[in-house]
Structure 1
Amino acid sequence: MDVEDLGHRYQQLRYRAEPTWAHLIGEYSVAPLFEDVSEEAEDAVGAEAGRIARAAASVARIPDGTAASLDAAVLAWDAATRSGLLECRFAELDVDPLFGPVAALPGRVSKLSLPSAEVARALPEKYGAFARHLRDRVERLRAGRAAGRTPVAFAVHGTVDGVRDWLRTPVDDDPLLAVGALPRLVDRSALRQDLHAVIGEVVRPALNDYADALAEQAAPSARPDERCGLCWLDDGERTYATLVRAHTTTDLTPEQIHEIGLAQVAALAEEYAVLGREIFGVADVATVLTRLREDPALHFENGDDLVRAAEHALARATEGARGWFGRIPAATCSVETATSGSLGQYFRPTKDGSRGASFVVNVSDPRAWARYEVEALAYHEGVPGHHLQMALVAELADLPEFRRTAAVTGYTEGWGLYAERLADEMGLYSSALDRMGMLSFDSLRACRLVIDTGIHALGWSRDRAKRYLAGNSPLSPGHIDAEVDRYIVTPGQALAYLVGRLEIVRIRAEATRRQGSRFDLARFHDAVLGAGPLPLTLLDAHAAAALP
C-alpha cells in the first residue's frame, strides 16, 4: 500500500475516532457518531494506528524541501503518536470539568454545520451516541479504579456540579437544542421535537447516571489537591512522558522543560521592568503585576467595547500582514461572541465553506478581560496567528487531507505564540500598554512550563502551583484557578505553546545564519506555513531543505 492509500486509511480512522472534530471541520460522513471511548474501540483504533505508523515509517524519506517528501514521515509520526497515547489508557482517569464532553458539547452545537437534511436529521442519533459515551466513561473509570488509577477530586466534584447545573435547566431551554442554521428542506420545529425527545429520554438520564457514578463511585477514591499530578500514580511517569512528547513533538524531558520555564520567567522580569517604567513610572515587577491585575480601569466594563477592540485589532493585523507573508489565505476571519468556553478561541472554516473562520470572544463577563489582553489574543487566534496558519493550510489542495488536518500541538500553538511576538515586529500593537499584553501572555506560557512539569513530574500541589502563577503573572485570581486546573486535567498540552515558539524562533535564527543576506522573512513564513502542521523535528528538517 502506498503513502496516499495509507494516508486515506488513516484519515478515515481519525474521522471515526473523533467524529465531533470531523463534523466541525466539515466532514459529514460521521455526523451521526460521537466519540467512542470504550476500551474495545480505543484498543482497535490504537492497533490500526500502530499498523499504519509502521507501514509509513518503512517508506519515509529525508525531507528535501518539497511537500511530498514529508507525507510518509508526518503520517508515521501522527499515527504512532495516536497509538502511543491510547496505550496510556488515559480515559481510565479522565474527568475534566473544563474541556470534557459535558463542558464542550453545549458550546459546540451551534458550530456543527448542518448543510443538508441528512446531516441535520443525524443530530438525534449523535445525541444518543453522546449518552453512550457518558456510560462508557463510567466503565472506563471503574477499570481505572481497579488498576489504582484515579481522577483528581476537584475535577470530579466540578464535573458533577456542571452536570447538575445542566439538568436544572428546563428541557425546553436545553443547550443541545441551540442548533445552527438549517437547510431549507428541514422543518425546524419537527427537528426540535425529535431533539427534545432524545434529550429528555436518553441524554438527561445518561447525564444523571454519570453524575451519580462520579459522586458515589469516583469521588471516594479521587486524589486530593496535594497529589493532583500524574507522578503520584504508579505508571504516571510513563504516561506524562508520553503526553509531553505528543504535545511538544520534541524529546525534551519534563526536567529540562521545567528549567527552560524558570529561565524564561526570569528573562521576562527585565522586560516588565522596562515597560512598567514607561507606563506606570515604576520598574518593580511585583508592583507592575499588581497594578495590571487590580486596576479596574484596565478592564472592560461591557461586551460591546470588548468586541469592537477585537475587531479593530483583527482589522489592523489583516491589513498589515502583506509583505510579511508571501501567501495570504483567501478566507477572511470574523469576530463572534460566546458566553461559555475559553476567553478566546479560533474556529477554522469548514472545508465545504458552510461556515467561515471566526475568532470567538467570551463576553459572559467582560470585566474578566484586561484591556491590554485583547490585541495579543487577536494576533494569536486570528492574524498573523491561527487564522493565517489554519485557513492557509485548508487551501493547500496539493496536500493530502491527513496533512491539512494533522493535529500537532507544538506546531499549532507554537505558531500562535510566535505570532504574538511577530505582531510586535510588525508594529501592530497600538500602545505600550497593549504591548504589556504580549508580556502578560508570555509570562503565562513561561509559567506553564514550570507549573505543568512541577505538578506532574515534581509532585507540586494545586495550591503551590497557584501561588507560583500569582507571583509571576498579572492574572486575576479567577484566571489563576482556571489555568492551574487546566494543567492538572490536561497534562502536557500547555507545554506546547512556549516550547513550540522557542523552536520556531531557533529554526528562524538558523535559516538567517545559513542564508545571510539571502534570507527573506516572508519566504521563511511561507516555508513554515506552506507545508501544513509538522512535528517540530520535521519542521526543522523541512526549513533546512527549503531554505538552504
Structure 2
Amino acid sequence: MTEGSGLVDVESLGKRYQELRYRTAPTWAHLIGEYSVAGHFEDVSATAEAAELRDLREVAHAAAALARTPDGTPVSLDGAVLAWQAATRADVLEHRFAELDVDPLFGPVTQFPGQVAKLALPSAEVAGALPKKYRGFARNLRDRLERLAAGRAAGRTPVAFAVADTVDRVRKWLHTPLEDDPLLAVDRAARTDHLRAVVGEVVRPALADYANALTWEVAPSARPDERCGLCWLDDGDRVYATLVRSHTTTDLHPDRIHETGLAQVAALDEEYAALGREVFGTSDVPAVMARMRDDPALHFDDAAGLVRAAEVALARATDRAPGWFGRLPRAACAVEAATSGSLGQYMLAPKDGSRGGTFVINVSDPRAWARYEVEALAFHEGVPGHHLQMGLAAELTELSEFRRTTTVTGFLEGWGLYAERLADEMGLYSSPLDRLGMLSFDSLRACRLVIDTGLHAKGWSRQRAKRFLAEHSPLSPGHIDAEVDRYIVTPGQALAYLVGRLEIVRIRREAERRQGAGFDLARFHDVVLGAGQLPLPLLEAHVAAALPGVVG
C-alpha cells in the first residue's frame, strides 16, 4: 500500500484505520466525541460489509510489515496492535454474523434508545444531523431484514427466544406516545418538528416493519432453545473459533476453556466455605449460596438505594487508588441508573470533556440485586476497574488516537475482573458479606467458561445452561436468565473475563519472579494500563520488556 509516492508509516496507517472505525461505527464515534460522523448510523448492508472487509485486510497487511519488537515503550506496539485489530475484525466479518444476528440485549433496538440521551450536541450543526442519523437507523433495520433473508437461504438462522424478545421490545416501543419516544430524549433545542416527523414517519414505520418481518418471516425458522448454540449451524464451529480468538485474544481451544471453568468453579468452594462460616455460621456451600440468593434481607428494595450503594463504593475506591497506581485519570466517574441493557457497564467520557466517565447500573428490577453484589460491580466498572483502564487510556496523548480508543475484550474485561480481586488486596470490601459478593461474581465468570463453551461448542440447551448457573452460583433467577441469554446472543464474549484475568495474573506473577524484591505493584499497574488496550500475548511481551529482570 502506498500514500503518494512513499511507503505508508504506522502513524498515517493508524489514522486511516481510525477513520475507517469512525465511518463504520458512527454511533460509537459520536459517543466518544467525534462529531464528523454525527449524521450517520451503522451500515450493516452486505455491500458495506464487503467494503469494510477489503479495507481491513489492506490495513492489516500493511501494519504487519510495520510491526516492531516491543521494547517497553508504548509506541513500539503501534504496528502490532494495528495489525491485530484490523486482521481480527476482518476475520469476524468474513463469517457474516449479520445473517443470523437478532439481539434483544445489545442490538440496535435496545442500545440506540439508551445511547441517544448520551449523544453530545455541542453545536447546531451536530444537532441538525440527528434526523439523518435517525433515517440511518431506520435503514439499518431494513438492511438487517435483508441480511437475515440471506442467512435463511443459506440455512443460517437466529435463535427463537431472541427473535420473540426483540419483537416484544419493538412493540413496547411503538406503544409509547410519539412525544415520549426515546429517540426524542434529546436536548430541547434539538427536539425540532423535523426530528419529530422523522421519528413518526420514518423510524416508527421501520420498527413496525422490522417487528412484523421478525414475526412472520424470521421466527418460523428460528432455532429453538435446544439448538441455541452456534455448533448447531453448519459453519458454527468455525464461527465460534473465530469469536473465541477475537474476544480472548488467545488460541485456547473451547475444550480447554471448558475444563478451566470447571476447575475454577470447584476451587471457589473452599472460599465459600470459609466466608460462609463467618457470615452465616455454615460452611455448607449449597446452603451458603441458597442464603445469598433467597434471603430477602440481602436484596434491595428500591433503585435509589442501589445507586447510592454504588456511589459510596466508588467514592471509597477513588480515595484509596493513589499508592496502588502511579498514574490516575483526570476525569471523574459518575454513577447513573438505567432500565435496560446489561447489569452494569462503563461509558467512556467523550474526548471533548463534555461529561466524565459513567458507571451505568441497571435498576429495572432492584429486588433482583443482592446488596453484596454492588461493591464488586462498582470496582469492576469504576475504580480500580474500567474507569481507571479506559479513562487513563483516553488521556494517553503520547499515543495515537486509534491506540487510545482501541477495544480488546480479553484485556478490557480481564482487567475489570482483575480489579475485583485487586480491590480485596486494597481492603475496599466493607464487610465479609461484600467479599462474598466478590466470590459470587467469580462464580459467574467461572461458570461463563463452562456455559459459553457448553452452548456453542458442546450443544447445550438454554435450560441446561441456566440449570448449571443456578447450581454453581448464588445469582437470582432473573439474573441467571439474563446472563445465559447474553451468552447465547454474543458468543465468546463472556469468555474474555476470566481468561483475561488469569493471563494478567500470570503476567504479574512472572514480573514478580523476574524482579524479586524490586517489584513494585503500582509500577506494574502503570505499565499494564499505560499502553492502552493490548492483545494479551502483546501485553505479556510489553510487560517483559518494560519490567525486565533486576540485575543483582
Task: Give the TM-score band, short-chain normalised.
Answer: over 0.9
Whole-Å Cα distance in 2 between the matches of residues 103 and 336 of structure 1? 17
Partner of 1:93: 100
Whole-Å Cα distance in 1 between the matches of residues 385 and 133 of structure 2? 32
Partner of 2:417: 417
Whole-Å Cα distance in 1 between the matches of residues 234 and 342 of structure 2? 32
Q: What does 1:192-231 align with in structure 2 at a 5 Å threshold?
A: 192-231=192-231
TM-score, normalised with respect to structure 1: 0.98
Q: Which amino acid aligns with 2:123?
A: S
Partner of 2:285: 285
Q: What does 1:401-440 align with in structure 2 at a 5 Å threshold?
A: 401-440=401-440
Whole-Å Cα distance in 2 between the matches of residues 425 and 148 of structure 1? 51
Partner of 2:44: 37
Partner of 2:67: 60
Which stretch shifts more, 342-351 or 257-266?
342-351
Partner of 2:472: 472
Whole-Å Cα distance in 2 between the matches of residues 192 and 307 of structure 1? 33
Whole-Å Cα distance in 1 between the matches of residues 466 and 264 of structure 2? 18
Whole-Å Cα distance in 2 between the matches of residues 337 and 481 of structure 1? 21
Partner of 1:84: 91
Partner of 1:314: 314
State yes or no: 1:131 paired with 2:138. Answer: yes
Whole-Å Cα distance in 2 between the matches of residues 306 and 315 of structure 1? 15
Q: Which amino acid aligns with 2:369?
A: W
State yes or no: 1:105 paired with 2:112. Answer: yes
Partner of 2:345: 345
The answer on whether the counterparts of 1:259 and 1:450 sit within 8 Å (CA) in structure 2 is yes
Q: Secondary structure at the match of 1:77?
A: helix
State yes or no: 1:50 paired with 2:35. Answer: no
Deviation at 1:362, TM superposition (A): 2.3
Whole-Å Cα distance in 2 between the matches of residues 425 and 195 of structure 1? 51
Q: Secondary structure at the match of 1:319?
A: helix
* CA offsets 1:445-469 (integer angstroms, 9 cap, x no match): 0000000000000000001000000
Whole-Å Cα distance in 2 between the matches of residues 355 and 315 of structure 1? 18
Q: What does 1:139-158 align with in structure 2 at a 5 Å threshold?
A: 139-158=146-165
State yes or no: 1:502 paired with 2:502. Answer: yes
Deviation at 1:380, TM superposition (A): 0.3
Q: Secondary structure at the match of 1:29?
A: helix
Deviation at 1:193, TM superposition (A): 1.8
Partner of 2:246: 246
State yes or no: 1:4 paired with 2:42. Answer: no
Whole-Å Cα distance in 2 between the matches of residues 147 and 273 of structure 1? 51
Q: Which amino acid aligns with 2:130?
A: L
Q: Which amino acid aligns with 2:94?
A: E
The answer on whether the counterparts of 1:262 and 1:446 sit within 8 Å (CA) in structure 2 is yes
Deviation at 1:255, TM superposition (A): 0.8
Whole-Å Cα distance in 2 between the matches of residues 379 and 462 of structure 1? 30
State yes or no: 1:75 paired with 2:82. Answer: yes
Deviation at 1:364, TM superposition (A): 2.7
Deviation at 1:83, TM superposition (A): 0.6
Q: What does 1:141-540 align with in structure 2 at a 5 Å threshold?
A: 141-179=148-186, 181=187, 187-188=189-190, 191-540=191-540
Deviation at 1:337, TM superposition (A): 1.8
The answer on whether the counterparts of 1:109 and 1:178 sit within 8 Å (CA) in structure 2 is yes
Deviation at 1:73, TM superposition (A): 0.1
Partner of 2:3: none
**What is the CA RMSD across the aligned residues, in angstroms?**
0.9
* CA offsets 1:17-75 (integer angstroms, 9 cap, x no match): 11111111111111111110000101100110011001000121111101111000000
Q: Secondary structure at the match of 1:533?
A: coil
The answer on whether the counterparts of 1:17 and 1:45 sit within 8 Å (CA) in structure 2 is yes
Whole-Å Cα distance in 2 between the matches of residues 158 and 349 of structure 1? 31
Aligned length: 541
Q: Which amino acid aligns with 1:28?
A: Y
The answer on whether the counterparts of 1:177 and 1:192 sit within 8 Å (CA) in structure 2 is no
Q: Which amino acid aligns with 1:20?
A: T
Whole-Å Cα distance in 2 between the matches of residues 363 and 456 of structure 1? 30
Whole-Å Cα distance in 2 between the matches of residues 266 and 364 of structure 1? 32
Whole-Å Cα distance in 1 between the matches of residues 489 and 506 of structure 2? 30
Whole-Å Cα distance in 1 between the matches of residues 522 and 356 of structure 2? 26
Whole-Å Cα distance in 2 between the matches of residues 112 and 401 of structure 1? 20
The runs of 5 or more residues in structure 2 that have no matched partner are: 1-7
Deviation at 1:341, TM superposition (A): 2.1
Q: Which amino acid aligns with 2:360?
A: V
Whole-Å Cα distance in 2 between the matches of residues 93 and 517 of structure 1? 53
Which stretch shifts more, 505-514 or 303-312?
303-312
Deviation at 1:304, TM superposition (A): 2.1
Whole-Å Cα distance in 2 between the matches of residues 163 and 337 of structure 1? 22
Whole-Å Cα distance in 2 between the matches of residues 440 and 24 of structure 1? 32
* CA offsets 1:267-302 (integer angstroms, 9 cap, x no match): 011111111011001111111111100100001112
Whole-Å Cα distance in 2 between the matches of residues 387 and 197 of structure 1? 38
Whole-Å Cα distance in 2 between the matches of residues 157 and 308 of structure 1? 34
Whole-Å Cα distance in 1 between the matches of residues 206 and 361 of structure 2? 31
Q: Which amino acid aligns with 2:535?
A: P
State yes or no: 1:546 paired with 2:526. Answer: no
Whole-Å Cα distance in 1 between the matches of residues 131 and 527 of structure 2? 43
Q: Which amino acid aligns with 2:30?
A: H
Whole-Å Cα distance in 2 between the matches of residues 486 and 309 of structure 1? 25
TM-score, normalised with respect to structure 2: 0.97
* CA offsets 1:308-365 (integer angstroms, 9 cap, x no match): 2111101110000010001011111112222222222211111011121111222232
Q: Which amino acid aligns with 1:246?
A: S
Deviation at 1:381, TM superposition (A): 0.5
Whole-Å Cα distance in 1 between the matches of residues 324 and 82 of structure 2? 30
Whole-Å Cα distance in 2 between the matches of residues 394 and 98 of structure 1? 27
State yes or no: 1:17 paired with 2:17. Answer: no
Whole-Å Cα distance in 2 between the matches of residues 371 and 238 of structure 1? 41
Q: Which amino acid aligns with 1:285?
A: V
**Percent identity of the aligned residues?**
75
